[in-house]
Amino acid sequence: MKELISFCEISDSGEITGITVPLFKPADWTSFDVVNKCRRITGFRKVGHAGTLDPFAEGVLILGFGTHTKRLDRYKMLDKTYRVDIRLGAETDTQDPTGRIIAGKGQGTPPDLQTINDLLPRFTGTIEQIPPMYSAKKVRGKRLYTLARKGEIIEREAVSVRIESITLLEYAWPLLRCRIRCGSGTYIRTLAADIGKALNCGAYADKLLRERIGDWGLEECLTLDEFTEAWKSIRESRP
C-alpha cells in the first residue's frame, strides 16, 4: 500500500491541489457516504468517485479530489473485477440482500456442478441486460430507484455490456461464488439474477466485492481510517 502523499499533486507553492486515491468502501456505506466523509476530512469541496458501488457491496472505490475530479471519467471506463456470492433458490426485488423476497426460498431444484459449468460461458462476451429498477440510472429524467421506492415499475430498454470472463470459485447449494471480469456499466446484481433464471431456481447477489478497477487493486486501497490518519499526518507535517 502506497503512502497517501504519493497520490497527491502538489503545486509549486506547496499546496495539495489534487488527489486520486483508491479507497476500500465498506459494506452498508453508499459511495456518496464515502465521498461526503472524505470531503469533511480533507476540506476539499470538489470530491467525486469513479463508479458507484451498491451499499451492500464493498471494495475498490477510486476517489478524485480537487483538480483530479476531471480525471475520474478515464477510470470509469476501465474493466473491473468482482467476486460475488450468488444465493440460489430465491429472488429479491433489489437483486441483492437488502430487498424483499419476491420468489420463495428454496425454489427450484438445486443444479449440479456440471450444469453450472456448462451455463456460465453463455454469459460471457457482449450480452444484454435490463437495468434494475433499484439503480441510479435515469429514465425520462428520473432515477429508477426513486420510482421503485414509490412502487412504480416501468419498462426499461436492454443495454449491451461486456463480460470478459466468469470463473467459478466455489459451489455449495445455495451459494455460488464467482469471479467476474467485466466492462463498465455491468450490473453484477442483474447478472446474478439472470443466472438464477437460467438455472430455473432464481438467485440474487448476496455479497459483492470489487477487487480491481483497471490496475488499481485491493492491495493499494486505503481504509477510511487509514485515509483519515494519513491525511492528518500530511497536514501536520506541512507548514
Counting every residue written for the chain, the total comes to 239
Question: Distance (Å, rounded) from C-alpha 187 to C-alpha 208?
Answer: 11
Per-residue pLDDT, 1: 55
Res 19 pLDDT > 80: yes
Please list, in sequence order, all residues whose beta carbon lies within 8 angstroms of the beta carbon of residue 74, skipping any fewer than 6 positions away: none
Per-residue pLDDT, 176: 98
Per-residue pLDDT, 105: 63
Per-residue pLDDT, 205: 98
Q: Concatenated DSSP letters for 190-211?
A: HHHHHHHHHTTS-EEEEEEEEE
Per-residue pLDDT, 171: 98
Angle in degrees, CA 86, 145, 179, rounded to 5: 25
Query: Which pLDDT band holds residue 157 (cuts at 50, 70, 90)?
Result: confident
Delimit the domains of the chain by residue range: 4-77+215-237, 80-213
Confirm if 122 and 139 have CB atoms less than 8 A apart: no
pLDDT in tens, 123-140: 999 999 988 877 777 777
Q: How many CB atoms lie within 10 A of CB 53?
A: 22
Interval 144-156 mean pLDDT: 76
Q: What are the catalytic residues? A: 54
Per-residue pLDDT, 239: 60
pLDDT in tens, 197-221: 999 999 999 999 999 999 999 999 9
Domains 4-77+215-237 and 80-213 share a fold: yes
pLDDT in tens, 77-136: 999 999 999 999 999 999 999 999 987 766 678 999 999 999 999 999 999 998 887 777
Backbone angle region of 198, left / alpha / beta, with phi > 0 → left and psi within -120 to 50 → alpha: alpha
pTM over 0.85: yes
Interval 39-65 mean pLDDT: 96
Return the CATH number of the domain spanning residue range 80-213: 3.30.2350.10
Percent of the chain with pLDDT over 90: 79
* CATH T-level assignment (fold) for domain 4-77+215-237: Pseudouridine synthase (3.30.2350)
Res 147 pLDDT > 80: no
Res 173 pLDDT > 70: yes
Q: Helix 31-42 to helix 224-237 angle, to the nearest 10 degrees?
A: 20
